[in-house]
Amino acid sequence: MSSIMDYSTATSEQIEASLCKQIEAIRLSRNLTQAQLALESGVALRTIGRMEKGQGVSLDTFIRVLTALKLQHALAALLPDPTIRPMERIQTGGRERLRARPRQIAEEQGPWAWGDEEKKQP
């Protein structure tokens, strides 16, 4: 199965369906039945069937199935390491960000009111 998907333009449903088809293909390539995978992962057989059809499963189920397929190492590739941000490290002097704060460009100018355009012109 060589399905290449552009995740940047795909919908969440398309991504879910693609991942589930990949899991099904991996299961079949390892000659495992759905029942065997359900037993090894600790989830219900019906849940495995729903997952392979792309009908939605919990994150816990997804992780259990990947672990049963010995693919837990692939979980590290799902998200980038948040500690590797060289430019931000330079800007913050090496301090780690503890909270997010949105930029307040529009609010600094204050709310717009009638007649403001006349005050701003020299």
Quick check: is 109 in a domain?
Answer: no
Kindly report the pTM of this predicted structure. 0.64
66 CB contacts (<8 Å, ≥6 apart)?
Answer: 23, 72, 74, 75
Quick check: is 6 in a domain?
Answer: yes
Q: What is the largest CA-CA distance in the chain?
A: 78
| 3-class SS shares of the chain: helix, strand, coil, % to 5 | 55, 0, 45
Q: How many domains does the chain have?
A: 1
Quick check: is 108 in a domain?
Answer: no
Quick check: is 104 in a domain?
Answer: no
Single-letter amino acid code for the residue at 46: R
Quick check: is 78 in a domain?
Answer: yes
Pair of tokens at residue 41? 């992962």
- CATH number of residue 21's parent domain: 1.10.260.40
Quick check: is 68 in a domain?
Answer: yes
Quick check: is 110 in a domain?
Answer: no
Full domain range(s) for residue 6: 1-98
Quick check: is 114 in a domain?
Answer: no
The pLDDT, as a whole number, for residue 79 is: 79
User: pLDDT by residue for the chain (122 residues), tens digit each?
Assistant: 445 778 888 898 888 889 999 999 999 999 999 999 999 999 999 999 999 998 888 999 999 999 999 999 888 888 777 766 667 667 767 676 677 777 766 555 666 677 766 655 55
Residue whose tokens read 């590290």: 76
